[in-house]
Structure 1
C-alpha cells in the first residue's frame, strides 16, 4: 500500500499503459482519476471501486480542459498528490514525407499535452507544498529508428522538460520524474511479437529476449510516485529490459 490515501490523476488513463498504471495505483491504495477523450471500458473499474475511481473526459491539447480536470479531481477527492502525464499518439513517417497534420498531432498531444498537464498540476501542488509528477517518454527518445522522427522528437523534448521542471519545482516540494518504457506487449509491441518472421529479426535487440509487460512498466510509475523514490528528482527511468538499437 505504497500509495495509500494518495490521489492520482492519469491522462490517457483508460487503456494501454495508462490503464495499467491506474490499476497498479489502485492496488497500492490510491484514489485515481482516469482522464481521456474516450472512456473505453473504464466503467469496469468505476463499478468495482466507485469511491476511489472516476473518469473525466479530457482533451490534453486544450489547457482549459486540463485545468478543468485538475479542478474536478481536487474537488472530488480533496487534493491531487500525483499526476501521470501519459496521454500520447504516434504517427509514423519519414521526415520528408510526414504529413504536417501528423506532426502537429504528435506535438499537440505528446509535448503540449504533457506541458499543459504538468503546468496545471504544478500550480495546484505548489499551493499544497507537495506532489509528484510523472511524465511519460519512450525508449525512442534516445534511439534512432526510420520513420520515428516526429514521435522521437516529442519524447526527447518531454525528457528535457522533465529535468527543467524538476529543478524549478523541487524547491517548492514537487518532484518531477519521467518514465521511459521500451517495447511492451500491447499495440505495436504485440504486433511485433505476433509476426514471427519480424520478431526473429528483432529478438536479438532485446537483452532479456522478450518485450516487457504493461504491468512491468506500471511498476516503474509506482516507484516514481511513492516514497521509495523520495530522493529521486529529474530522473528518466528506462524500463526496457536492456534494449539495444541499431
Structure 2
C-alpha cells in the first residue's frame, strides 16, 4: 500500500499501459482517475474499486479539457498527488510519405498533450507544495528506426521537456520523471511482439530475450511516484529488458 491515501490522474488510462498503471496504483491504495477519450476496458476495474476508481473523459490536445480533469480530481478527492501523462499515438511513415495530418496528430497528442498535462498538474500541485509527475516516453526516443520519425521525435522531446520541468518544479516540492518502456506484449509493442517476422528481427536485440509485460512497466511507474524514489528527479527510467539497437 505504498500509495495509500494519494490521488492520481492517468491520461490514456483506459487501456494498454495506462490501464495497467491504474490497476497497480489502485492495488497500492491510491484513488485513480483514468482520463481518456473513451472508457474502453475500465468497467471491471471500476467495479472492483468503486470508491477509488473513476473514468473522466478528456482530450489531451485541448488544454481546457486537461485542466478541467485536474480540477475535478482535486475537488473530488481533496487533492492531486500524482499525474501520469501517458496518452500517446503512433503513425508510421517514411519522411517523404507521411501524411502531415498524421505528423500533427503525434505532435498534438504525444508532445502538446504531455505539456498540457504537466502544466495543469503543476498548477494544482503548487498550491499544496508537493506532487509527483510521470511522463511516458519510449525506447524509440533514443534509437533510430525507419518510418518512426514522428513518434521518435515527439518522444525525444518529451524526455528533454521532462528534465526541464524537473528543474523548474523540484525546488517547489514537485518531482518530474519519465518512464521509457521498450517492446511490451500489449499496447503499441503488440504489433512487434506478435508478428513473427518483426519479432525475429527484434528479439535478439533484447538481452532478456523476451517482450516485457505491462505489469513490469507499471511497477516502474509505482516506483517513480512512491516514497522510495523521493530523491529521484528529472530521470528517464528505461524498462526495456536491456534493449540493444544496431
Q: Same fold judged by TM-score > 0.5?
A: yes
Asked if structure 1 preserves the Cα contact closer than 8 Å seen for 2:17 and 2:187, the reply is no
- How far does the alpha carbon of each residue in 1:193-216 deviate from its partner, in whole angstroms, 9 at most, with x for none? 333343223221111000101000
Aligned partner of 2:119 in structure 1 is 119
* Aligned CA distance change for structure 1 residues 91 and 10 (closer, same or farther; 3 Å): same
- How far does the alpha carbon of each residue in 1:47-71 deviate from its partner, in whole angstroms, 9 at most, with x for none? 1211101100000000000010001
RMSD: 0.9
SS of 2:98's equivalent in the other structure is coil
- How far does the alpha carbon of each residue in 1:67-110 deviate from its partner, in whole angstroms, 9 at most, with x for none? 10001101110101000000000000111111100000000000
Q: Number of residue pairs matched?
A: 246
Q: Which structure 2 residues correspond to residues 20-35 of structure 1 after superposition, within 5 A?
A: 20-35=20-35
Cα distance in 2, alignment partners of residues 2 and 84 from structure 1: 16
Residue 56 of structure 1 pairs with residue 65 of structure 2: no
Aligned partner of 1:65 in structure 2 is 65
Q: Which structure 2 residues correspond to residues 1-246 of structure 1 after superposition, within 5 A?
A: 1-246=1-246
Asked if structure 1 preserves the Cα contact closer than 8 Å seen for 2:134 and 2:221, the reply is yes
TM-score, length-scaled by structure 2 = 0.98
Cα distance in 2, alignment partners of residues 119 and 31 from structure 1: 21
SS of 2:192's equivalent in the other structure is helix
Deviation at 1:45, TM superposition (A): 1.5
SS of 1:134's equivalent in the other structure is strand
Deviation at 1:188, TM superposition (A): 4.3
TM-score, length-scaled by structure 1 = 0.98
Q: What 5-or-longer segments of structure 1 have no aligned partner?
A: none
SS of 1:69's equivalent in the other structure is helix
Q: After the TM superposition, which parts of structure 1 deviate over 6 Å for at least 4 consecutive aligned residues?
A: none
- How far does the alpha carbon of each residue in 1:189-236 deviate from its partner, in whole angstroms, 9 at most, with x for none? 333233334322322111100010100000110000100100000000
Q: What 5-or-longer segments of structure 2 have no aligned partner?
A: none
SS of 2:204's equivalent in the other structure is helix
Asked if structure 1 preserves the Cα contact closer than 8 Å seen for 2:183 and 2:193, the reply is no
Cα distance in 2, alignment partners of residues 144 and 198 from structure 1: 16
- How far does the alpha carbon of each residue in 1:164-203 deviate from its partner, in whole angstroms, 9 at most, with x for none? 0000000110000000000000144333233334322322
Deviation at 1:115, TM superposition (A): 0.2
